[in-house]
Chain A
Amino acid sequence: MTEVYVVGTDMIRFGRFPDRTVPQIGAEAALMALDDAGLTIKDMQALYCGNLGEAGAMVGQRLLREIGQTGIPVVNCANACATGATAFREGYAAIRAGMYDVVLCVGVEQMGKGLLGGAGGGSGIPTEGLLGSGTMPSVFAHVGMEHTRNYGTTFEQFAKVSVKNHHHSTLNPKAMYQIETPLQEVMGAEMISYPNTKLMCSVNVDGSAAAVLASEAAAKRLGLMARAVRVRASAMTSDPYTARNMVMPDFNAVTRLAAKAAYEQAGLGPEDVDLVELHDCFATAEIVHYENLGLCADGEGGRLIDDGETALGGRIPVNVSGGLLSKGHPLGATGIANIYEVTTHLRGEAGKRQVEGARIGLTHVVGMGSACAIHVLEKP
């Protein structure tokens, strides 16, 4: 099977664009990624489009009307917060299988403000706040409180994740926010679901990101190897059975299963990874994923954030883009935006937030329901 390379990638600056359509927002990143590769839509043999909010509305085909209707096959993907990564992985798989040489993958989302989720009203009355809470901040508060239960992780340690990621985003011109949030400000912000305060919740934003993938032969033929980043692993899992999963989504087991597969495929381990973009939809999530991805031993997640090991300049920088917490989390775009971030570091083009000497990077997303996708990328 051929190797697969990212030969072009970009994202728009995340923000709020209520006056634009989803295809228009996606088209912008698609054109930017094509420009980054020096290719045109006429070079693309297929489009893989990730979007959640208009999943039934042919977003990929509508996107092509904005950038060129060449008649290529379009696959529209929806997989909760793993939507963008799923689109990327479908493109990867098609090239790896020898079906196409060069494909375009786009993730795009237009979000409203406010709370997501909530327990459904299965029997005629809404059950949110009656049978516990199913809002996203609550679901991920439960994730953090399980870590507290097991290891004594504190509110302050969770809050430090937000301090770090907001700091990182001050170095990223494409992040929604570029503001420092000191610890007392994070901890003193409005409590949403303990221990997640408002500043420990990801930002609902509009955004898009795109990547052009090519086979090794095509990347060479097109003269694109110099900046090409190799996809060393692409792993995806659904949630394996665990006892409490149906009432308390288990994002740990699904991530651990994907991490094991990804490291095996890549033929390396967490100690070989130079930077990670992981799914910090809430501050509580980041700490559990340190352990799920093997960045530290079980129970050491709190110490990792205390010691600054995951900050830019630390042993294993995590979410130097600002993460979902501060860069923003346009659901369908997130999985490709983190491919863009890692690729940019591996190319040595990340400017003030560059992780020096980065050779191997890992991206991770997890969508509730559940889907986990992990990609391992390698420097050209």
Chain B
Amino acid sequence: MSEIATEAKKPLPVAPFLKIPDEGHPYLEGQKCGACGEVFLGQRLVCAACGARGQMGAVTLSSDGKLYNFTIVHRNFPGVPVPFVSAIVDLDGGGTLKGNLVDIVPSAEAIKFDMPVKVVFRDAGRKDKDGNSYLAYFFTPA
């Protein structure tokens, strides 16, 4: 094996708000409005909640949260493994995120509203056409 082939390429983030620093752990970045305090995922120039301009500042979102909502997906597009749990999670301190809830039996009986969950970062299991790996976020029961 050549040196180039053995040197693992750094994975790309699955979404622009997922940050992968050179040192330390991946995290989710949001923006907080200095005028009204609303927290958003990702970049924006103007606050959608109050319309304030020039008030957005980057914040690191919590990796702890509570399950607000879920559905168990049994039918999807060809190639997408089912069943899986599509979950809406309110992060502690602000920000709401949709993702897959994993490490749990995908049944309405096993999953409880408001159950505490953690955001974890794992390989997406999918590559783009150039062979790049991606780091994705998932929710697991806390």
Q: Are B14 and A131 in contact (CB under 8 A)?
A: yes
CA distance A191 to B49 in the complex (A): 36
Within the complex, which residue of B41, B69, B108, B126 is in contact with A125, where a contact is CB–CB below 8 Å?
B126
CA distance A191 to B76 in the complex (A): 11
Task: Given A125-B134, A145-B69, A241-B48, answer yes or no on A248-B96 (Cβ-Cβ < 8 Å).
Answer: yes
Within A133-159, the residues touching B (CB, 8 Å) are 133, 135, 137-138, 141-142, 145-146, 149, 155
Q: Are A247 and B75 in contact (CB under 8 A)?
A: no
Residues of A within 8 A of B99 (CB): 131-132
Q: Are A142 and B124 in contact (CB under 8 A)?
A: no
Within the complex, which residue of A125, A193, A243 is in contact with B96, where a contact is CB–CB below 8 Å?
A243
Residues of A within 8 A of B12 (CB): 123-124
A269 within 8 A of B: no
Within A91-140, the residues touching B (CB, 8 Å) are 115, 118-119, 122-133, 135, 137-138
Within the complex, which residue of A118, A123, A145, A191 is in contact with B134, where a contact is CB–CB below 8 Å?
A123
Closest chain B residue, CB of each to CB of A148: B113
Q: Mark B14-32, 1 if CB is under 8 A from A, else 0.
A: 1110000000000000000
The total of chain B residues at the interface (CB under 8 A) is: 46
A244 within 8 A of B: yes
Q: Are B68 and A244 in contact (CB under 8 A)?
A: yes
Residues of A within 8 A of B38 (CB): 243
Residues of A within 8 A of B129 (CB): 124
Q: Are B136 and A131 in contact (CB under 8 A)?
A: yes
A246 within 8 A of B: yes
A194 within 8 A of B: yes
CA distance A160 to B127 in the complex (A): 42
Within B84-101, the residues touching A (CB, 8 Å) are 84, 86-88, 90, 96-100
Q: How many A-B residue pairs have CB under 8 A?
A: 130
CA distance A315 to B40 in the complex (A): 43
Within the complex, which residue of A115, A131, A190 is in contact with B98, where a contact is CB–CB below 8 Å?
A131
B55 within 8 A of A: no
Closest chain B residue, CB of each to CB of A115: B77
Q: Are B74 and A194 in contact (CB under 8 A)?
A: yes
Q: Are A133 and B132 in contact (CB under 8 A)?
A: no
B interface majority secondary structure: strand
A192 within 8 A of B: yes
Q: Are B75 and A130 in contact (CB under 8 A)?
A: no
Q: Are A125 and B128 in contact (CB under 8 A)?
A: yes
Q: Are A193 and B49 in contact (CB under 8 A)?
A: no
Within the complex, which residue of B13, B14, B15, B73 is in contact with A135, where a contact is CB–CB below 8 Å?
B73
Closest chain A residue, CB of each to CB of B106: A194
Q: Are A125 and B124 in contact (CB under 8 A)?
A: yes
CA distance A83 to B88 in the complex (A): 28
Q: Write the nearest CB–CB distance from B97 to chain A, whole angstroms.
A: 6
CA distance A191 to B137 in the complex (A): 26
Q: Mark A176-209, 1 if CB is under 8 A from B, else 0.
A: 0000000000000011111100100000000000
Give 10 nearest A-B pairs by CB, closest first: A141-B71, A129-B80, A132-B86, A124-B128, A133-B86, A132-B98, A194-B72, A247-B98, A191-B74, A192-B75
Q: Mind listing 25 A-B residue pairs with CB under 8 Å?
A: A123-B13, A123-B14, A125-B127, A128-B76, A128-B80, A129-B73, A129-B77, A129-B81, A129-B82, A130-B124, A130-B125, A131-B99, A132-B98, A133-B71, A135-B77, A142-B70, A142-B71, A145-B71, A191-B74, A192-B73, A193-B71, A194-B73, A195-B108, A243-B96, A248-B69
